[in-house]
Amino acid sequence: MEYEIKHSGKFKYVEEGTGEPLVLLHGLFGALSNFKDLVDGFKDKYKVIIPLLPLYDLTLIETSVSGLSKYVQKFIEHQKLTNIHLLGNSLGGHVGLVYTLKHQERIRSITLTGSSGLFENGMGETYPKRGDYNYVQKKTELTFYDPKVATKELVDEVFSIINNRLKALKIIALARSAIRHNLGEELKEIKIPTCLIWGKNDTITPPMVAEEFHKLLPNSELHWIDKCGHAPMMEVPGEFNAILSAFLAKC
């Protein structure tokens, strides 16, 4: 399925369906295709919105978790969204948490999957081998339990990004920002319902990260998916959507 990319002001986004807003925040190498099954599964009940985060368009000074969080804030205000169900994968979860800490009044629920914010084995720090396709393929495969999920199309996309010198610099800046911007002391302030959906075989944000999030977020529930890596909504979309649907029904 190809999504229509809409434009409003300076913002680009995908919007499918009607109902309460379900806002999806992608990660560092996130693409719209990452959320295909999620959009298809929820657009009949929710207005599913994916803002295209400006990973490569901010100035180097603004290229940070805080910079992306401010962009999300402006997008949400521009779209006049309230009662938002916010979902973030990887860096997107981290950005969503930083936004939520300042704007809980707009958020109805949060779902985190493979989120940074406490600890992560950063991919961006280890990409000096820009011309080595096999190296990039192996790093991309590590995102998943089943390496076959890292299709040639996906590997080509990552390879293209990191072989653009400016984009590679932005990726490294964002990866370092995510490591520096630890939320451990602040998470107790988030009182809204939070769903943690984690791959048991995630090597980028390992299971101990999910357990720590669960401990620090006072109104959270933790769900494990076996034989699954860092992007459960891509690797096991059926199980992911079932967990998310049951959680949202309670919110």
Which domains, from first to last, does the chain contain?
6-119+183-250 (3.40.50.1820)
Any idea what the Cα angle at residue 13 is, between residues 70 and 100, rounded to 5°? Answer: 35
Q: Who contacts 179 (Cβ-Cβ below 8 Å, separation ≥6)?
A: 120, 122, 125
Structure tokens at 212: 């720590």
Q: Cβ distance 78 to 18 under 8 Å? A: no
What pLDDT, on a 0 to 100 scale, did the predictor assign at position 129? 61
SS3 call for 48: strand
* Range list of H helices, 163-206: 165-180
Tell me what pLDDT residue 243 has: 98
Q: pTM here?
A: 0.94
Split the chain (251 residues) into runs of 10 and give each run's mean pLDDT: 86 96 91 88 97 92 95 97 97 97 97 92 54 86 92 90 88 89 94 98 95 97 97 96 98 92
Could you report the per-residue pLDDT of 108-155, keeping only the tens digit for each?
999 999 999 998 775 444 545 667 899 889 888 999 999 999 999 999
In the three-class reduction of DSSP (H, G, I as helix; E, B as strand; rest coil), residue 50 is classed as strand
- pLDDT attached to residue 168: 86
Which strands sit side by side in the sheet containing 20-25, from one edge to the other?
6-8, 11-16, 46-51, 20-25, 84-89, 107-113, 194-199, 220-225
Predicted confidence (pLDDT) per residue in 25-40, tens digit: 999 887 777 899 999 9
The Cα–Cα gap between 96 and 181 comes to 13
Neighbouring residues of 41: CB distance < 8 A, sequence distance ≥ 6: 237, 241, 245
| Residue that the structure tokens 């357990």 belong to | 211
- List the Cα angle 23/26/32 in 5-degree steps: 90
Q: Which pLDDT score is estimated for 210?
A: 97
